[in-house]
Amino acid sequence: MKTVAGPLPFIICLSRFIPTKHNFGQKFKTNMQTRTNHEIDYHIYGEEMQYVEVELDPQETAIAEAGAFMMMDEAVQMETIFGDGRGQEKGFFGKLMSAGKRVLTGESLFMTAFTNAGQGKKRVSFASPYPGKIIPLDLLELGGKMICQKDAFLCAAKGVAVGIEFQRKLGTGLFGGEGFIMQKLEGDGMAFVHAGGHVFGRDLQPGEVLKIDTGCIVAFTPSVDYDIQFVGGIKNTLFGGEGLFFATLRGPGRVWIQTLPVSRLASRILAYGTYKRKDEGSLLGGLGNLLDGDGV
């Protein structure tokens, strides 16, 4: 086998936890190590508006966030459940407490379970809620736990616990952009999260620090230390336009970063719809807007 010089080894390393452009639409089998969660195979389709197709063996189940469902085969049965459907919550109040924790992260009180009740493999698909990427996370390979932004979870194999992670530092909770509560995924199955724009991963070495906009953090392994830092400087604070704080992530561990947080996208759309737009490049002004169908 020929060796290739240059950055290729880094790209190969990165592709272990981020699907590359050439992977979309291809089939992936989950790691065959011993799992307690349901084992599922999956396809990811699309470029900027993606969806994930989960392949279920008979009696296998996938759980999904309310509103993520796209389509499914006839033999797949859908059931609305409290919590994440692990069956570890005892009684009604136990299930209610589990579901209540999800509400604190901004998710729905209910989740939906999709079970293959037929013979042979069946498929169910879940779509991303806004332009961006779907990230597959094999929790077995990632140490059994991931910490994510509050609205990142899309779907997972049954048995994956969807809970909350409290920020223990006062400053991080108050000024970290995500508040005191983040989302926690635990288990040894496959989980899928969604983020905006382009998404990429980065490995941090022990002691290595990455300074990042608080809204651009998607997920990180528990070994990463998450904190916030004051931007500093009067000009930076008053006129920089980047906020007063940015996040610091200290290795070792892996982090996933998004280029377009949904809050940033929403604020731009709101600003465009709220303020009277400029008639740039138009000699006719408002009449030109009427002619091209954009209104006045």
CA distances to 35, 36, 63, 197, 293 from 160, in Å:
11, 9, 9, 26, 48
Asked whether the beta carbons of 209 and 249 are under 8 A apart, the reply is: yes
Q: What is the DSSP string of 107-147?
A: --SEEEEEEE-SSS-EEEEEE-SSSEEEEEEETTTTTTEEE
What is the model's pLDDT at position 206? 96
What is the model's pLDDT at position 84? 63
User: Which amino acid is residue 112, in one-letter code?
Assistant: T
**Other C-beta atoms lying within 10 Å of the C-beta of residue 229:** 13
- Alpha carbons 280 and 277: distance in angstroms, whole number: 9
What is the model's pLDDT at position 291? 44
Query: Kindly report the CA angle at 178 between 170 and 201, in degrees rounded to 5?
Result: 115
- Alpha carbons 143 and 15: distance in angstroms, whole number: 18
What is the model's pLDDT at position 237? 55
CA distances to 16, 57, 78, 128, 144 from 69, in Å:
27, 19, 10, 9, 25
CA-based nearest residue to 114, from 85, 134, 152, 88: 85
What is the model's pLDDT at position 29? 54
Per-residue confidence of the chain (296 residues) as pLDDT tens digits? 444 444 433 333 433 444 433 343 445 555 556 778 888 999 999 988 899 999 999 999 999 988 899 999 999 999 988 766 665 455 555 656 655 555 665 566 778 999 999 999 999 999 998 899 999 999 999 999 999 988 899 999 999 988 888 765 545 445 544 555 788 999 999 999 999 999 999 999 999 999 988 889 999 999 999 888 776 656 555 554 555 678 889 999 999 999 998 878 887 788 777 765 554 444 445 554 544 445 54
Q: What is the pTM of this model?
A: 0.74
What is the model's pLDDT at position 6? 44
The tokens describing 252, both together, are: 């070792």
- Alpha carbons 195 and 218: distance in angstroms, whole number: 7
Give the E-state strand segments of the chain in sequence order.
27-28, 41-45, 51-56, 61-65, 69-72, 76-82, 110-116, 122-127, 132-138, 145-148, 153-157, 161-166, 181-186, 190-196, 199-204, 209-212, 217-220, 225-230, 245-250, 253-258
The sign of the dihedral angle between the CA atoms of 84, 151, 188, 127 is positive
